Structure 1
């Protein structure tokens, strides 16, 4: 197993914390920091003197982001976060009375609220149907099929469940949705950067993701993919000067752009666009497979060690169902004390709903895992 220790130097957080919480808000690398900082230095000293250079860079980065997920540049738009992208999709579809939307439950709140809001806007004429996942996070195609009917217009699902780490079988789900002519919307925030994804190969119509988790990219930035076969069908609810063709001519000629750029209705956060470029460059330099192998290896050590301590592992370790997340149901209940104890010992994890979620990244090492286990043992001994 490659240790990838040469990349640890890019993450100064390792000098201050044992950070095992990349399913939450990850630290940025020094490379991303330098890129963003250099942009602000340029703006400080020269303002927008080289604005055209900025916009040219955005064109290049849009293509690179698209390539990373198997999409074309015209299918990619840059937004503020995942919820922003989900709302563009939900409010841009032409819903009709009797349509229904199938949603996995429980899930991250944004993936529920957005669709519930559509039902409210449509005065209940669009039904929300819930597929209930198991406690392990397990969900399969047969469970989804049980909620599908001829009026199902869209299925919304996360690629990886945030509280179990279960990795959905998007290949089978995508093939089914394509045959049934059901739109497939995927939130890939908990998989992007760890699990390879190809939107066209998986028959995904919409993909959204934030960049501050496994990519260790900027906060307040998200990516939306819309299959170019249906871009014309998705009507932007918000528009602005950037939504139209030849926007910089200021002709007051309201003709929407013909690609996903129509969803970018104002000035982009250039600092974040350039920051995600640096984050992606690092991921591509290392390689997704090497990243995945390292994270899976660390999680296997955690699984074995915690199982030996009589802790119940919720997350699946089946190769096609696993992710970068490992979730544990502890054999004790004083989790508020546990959370405080780890915080005081400068170890970052997530404690929620009676579960412990651990999510290491590729720059973590065996010593980080040992430190987690030592503090875990200390807590159990003193409680």
Structure 2
């Protein structure tokens, strides 16, 4: 992995140490060029010059195939969405629900993988079962299995929760669901582009993810994977050209027999082109190499942070259960003060609740700061951030 070239590809690194990929990552220049090149050409020939439009739509098909290959799927199983939230909603609103059906999720879920199921509970009398997790933040398979009933229709899990950084055993969860005849949905918004994903090995029915985080794609990009045999079970939330065929003579319409059925109207071409460039960029580096580097950076960052007086790190105590996301507080300092001080010194992290209500209650806090290093970060940046936090503790303690 050529870190020097990778950092040269992103002008941000000339000014800032960006350690906040869990929120959104800075895309490499190649992603921006793919998007602006298209937009620039539309000013020259217009978006609907026939030859240009054919070229663009052929590129979209090519990116669909590349996206599928990136996660071990078939092109027909891939739909493009605006973000991971939309992808989750397409599943939640697209399945046929009966009163009394059960959805199981954990208390560590992010807002966008909780409220769509809460809405089902309110609107359709679907039963929502919330598994309790301990401070490790890792779902226990035995507890999950005990929660399954004859009415369980779907289990959904965030592969890597945005606040805790506790990597979940999604393969075992999906295999358990499959054995019990239950559908499974993985929210991979924090692992697409970070962890090697193969949906055929995971045996999940659905996978939703955004492109703007660890994949380093643009905002407004997302992916929904629908296992081939489940495509017919999803009734599109939106309908129009692109996802349906319409027989004008009989005045009847039908949904496409592929995952693209959930896409209605004009695709967001710039975002899809940016997503494609981000996948190409990750492929060139190698997803396994990315994963291994971030694992090492995670361990290094936790070790260095532990040297800061008054430091409390939340989430898994076992470093083998943690990846990339490191929430923390420092005694005597507010999370906002920490992030502001680091920003003054050109280091970007984040503070907030991260909508992690259960985790905040477990630790008796109302806010926390968060480091989330990616492969482009260096140990020197981590060292500098830690030195600054130690300096801030000393200043505030006087």
Q: Which residue of 2 aligns with 1:9?
A: 8
Q: Which residue of 1 aligns with 2:212?
A: 212
Q: Which residue of 2 aligns with 1:197?
A: 197
Structure 2 counterparts to residues 289-300 of structure 1, below 5 A: 289-300=288-299
Following the alignment from structure 1 to structure 2, what is the Cα–Cα distance between the partners of residues 320 and 303?
A: 12
Give the secondary structure class of the aligned counterpart of 2:147: coil
Q: Which residue of 2 aligns with 1:84?
A: 86
Which has the larger displacement, 325-334 or 262-271? Answer: 325-334
Give the secondary structure class of the aligned counterpart of 2:389: helix
Q: Which residue of 2 aligns with 1:357?
A: 370
Decide whether the 8 Å contact of 2:22 with 2:213 is kept in 1.
yes
Q: Which residue of 2 aligns with 1:369?
A: 382
Task: State the 1:322 CA deviation.
Answer: 2.6
Following the alignment from structure 1 to structure 2, what is the Cα–Cα distance between the partners of residues 115 and 89?
A: 10
Following the alignment from structure 1 to structure 2, what is the Cα–Cα distance between the partners of residues 217 and 195?
A: 15
Matched, 1:37 2:39: no
Structure 2 counterparts to residues 103-118 of structure 1, below 5 A: 103-118=105-120
Q: Which residue of 2 aligns with 1:97?
A: 99
Q: Which residue of 1 aligns with 2:356?
A: none
Task: State the 1:317 CA deviation.
Answer: 6.9
The Cα offsets for residues 237-276 of structure 1, whole Å up to 9 and x where unpaired, read as 22011122389x9996512211011111111011111111
RMSD of Structure 2 on Structure 1 (CA): 2.0
Matched, 1:305 2:304: yes
The Cα offsets for residues 110-159 of structure 1, whole Å up to 9 and x where unpaired, read as 1110001111221xx21111012223322221221232211110011100
The Cα offsets for residues 203-232 of structure 1, whole Å up to 9 and x where unpaired, read as 110100000000110101110001110111
**TM, length-normalised to structure 2:** 0.90
| Change beyond 3 A, Cα 1:24–1:149 | same
Q: Which residue of 1 aligns with 2:221?
A: 221
Q: Structure 1: any 5+ residue segments left out of the alignment?
A: none
Following the alignment from structure 2 to structure 1, what is the Cα–Cα distance between the partners of residues 334 and 268?
A: 43
Following the alignment from structure 1 to structure 2, what is the Cα–Cα distance between the partners of residues 273 and 251?
A: 34
| Change beyond 3 A, Cα 1:187–1:57 | same
Give the secondary structure class of the aligned counterpart of 2:255: coil
Following the alignment from structure 1 to structure 2, what is the Cα–Cα distance between the partners of residues 18 and 195?
A: 22
Q: Which residue of 1 aligns with 2:148?
A: 148
Following the alignment from structure 1 to structure 2, what is the Cα–Cα distance between the partners of residues 320 and 254?
A: 51
Give the secondary structure class of the aligned counterpart of 2:189: coil
Decide whether the 8 Å contact of 2:246 with 2:253 is kept in 1.
no
Decide whether the 8 Å contact of 2:80 with 2:223 is kept in 1.
yes
**TM, length-normalised to structure 1:** 0.94
Matched, 1:325 2:338: no
Q: Which residue of 2 aligns with 1:274?
A: 273
Following the alignment from structure 1 to structure 2, what is the Cα–Cα distance between the partners of residues 270 and 317?
A: 43
| Change beyond 3 A, Cα 1:106–1:317 | closer
Q: Structure 2: any 5+ residue segments left out of the alignment?
A: 354-366
Task: State the 1:5 CA deviation.
Answer: 2.5
Decide whether the 8 Å contact of 1:325 with 1:357 is kept in 2.
yes
Decide whether the 8 Å contact of 2:329 with 2:335 is kept in 1.
no
Give the secondary structure class of the aligned counterpart of 1:343: helix
| Change beyond 3 A, Cα 1:369–1:237 | same
Q: 2:65 aligns with which of 46, 63, 66?
A: 63
Following the alignment from structure 2 to structure 1, what is the Cα–Cα distance between the partners of residues 345 and 221?
A: 31
Following the alignment from structure 2 to structure 1, what is the Cα–Cα distance between the partners of residues 96 and 271?
A: 31
Following the alignment from structure 1 to structure 2, what is the Cα–Cα distance between the partners of residues 251 and 45?
A: 41
Decide whether the 8 Å contact of 1:3 with 1:294 is kept in 2.
no
Runs of 4+ residues deviating >4 angstroms: 249-253, 317-320
Decide whether the 8 Å contact of 1:35 with 1:278 is kept in 2.
yes
